[in-house]
Structure formats: C-alpha cells, structure tokens
Amino acid sequence: MKILVDADACPVKDVIISVGREKNIPVEMVASFNHQISEGTGVKVIVTDTGQDAADFVIVNRIQDQDIVVTQDYGLTALVLGRNGRALSPRGLIFTGDNINSLLMQRHVSAKVRRGGGKTKGPSAFSREDRNNFLESLLRLLES
C-alpha cells in the first residue's frame, strides 16, 4: 500500500508525509514541474508536465489495489475508485462509490451554470478543522 498525492494544490502534504513516516507507508507526491516539492525519507516526488490532467494520468497509471489517493478532483477520484483504490479529499471526505456519482453530477450542474453566465459558490477557506478531519479520515482509511 502507498499514498499517492495530487500535490499541486494539496494543503495537507505535511500531514501526509508525517503519517507516512510514522506508519512506514511510502508516499508519492505527483506535481507539475511548476511546483517545488522536496523529496525526503519515504517520499518520492514525481514531476509531470503542466498539461491539463497530466498528474491525474500519472496517478491512475501508478495506482494499485487499496492504495490511497489524496485529491480534490472528482474525475480523478472516479478513476481511482474504478481501479480498486481509495480516495480522500484534503478536507477529510472519504470518497466512495455511493457519493462520487452525486459529486460528479454536482460538478456537471455547476459547470453548466457557469457556461451559461451564472455564478456558483466556491469552497470555504481551508481551516484547522478541515486539517483535523483529514488526519482522522486518513488514519481511519489506513486502519481499514
């Protein structure tokens, strides 16, 4: 088992690295070459080009059964779940087959509204509570 991270905009990289080291679980940070991420003990950095979804394709190609992927991307999440991986958002939401379809539909409806000139509400600012929720959810996934 390993933890793969869609690392370009991940606010909990430090938490993931700490848990990976503590639990002796390899961590792979996947990011475009525009982002500086340091390798360290137990952390492998995989650099991609800046193309749309480049990091997503690398993650999907590297995932194995029961690996954990940390991402905010619902499309990537659906692919991960389809390959028997597990997925978690940086805010601590554990993605499942039960919730990903409604999240994808929500994303589609919001995009349709924006294409039509409407506005949609973005996410709230990342909080300490989000960080704590993430840690609890990550530990729960690792124990299951």
Q: How high is the pLDDT of residue 139?
A: 97
Q: How high is the pLDDT of residue 107?
A: 67
Q: How high is the pLDDT of residue 84?
A: 93
Cβ contact 60:78 at 8 Å: no
Q: How high is the pLDDT of residue 95?
A: 95
- Residue 49: which domain range? 3-143
Q: How high is the pLDDT of residue 36?
A: 64
Q: How far is the C-alpha of 72 from the C-alpha of 89, rounded, in Å?
A: 5
Number of domains into which the chain is organized: 1
Instruction: Determine the angle formed by the axes of helices 13-23 and 128-143, rounding to 10 degrees.
Output: 30
Nearest Cα residue to 95 out of 62, 137, 54, 58: 137
- CATH of residue 48's domain is 3.40.50
Q: How far is the C-alpha of 1 from the C-alpha of 121, rounded, in Å?
A: 36
Considering only the C-alpha atoms of the chain, give the largest distance between any 2 of them, rounded to a whole number of Å.
48
Mean pLDDT by 10 residues, the chain (144 residues): 91 94 94 68 83 86 94 92 95 92 75 78 86 97 91
Q: How high is the pLDDT of residue 96?
A: 93
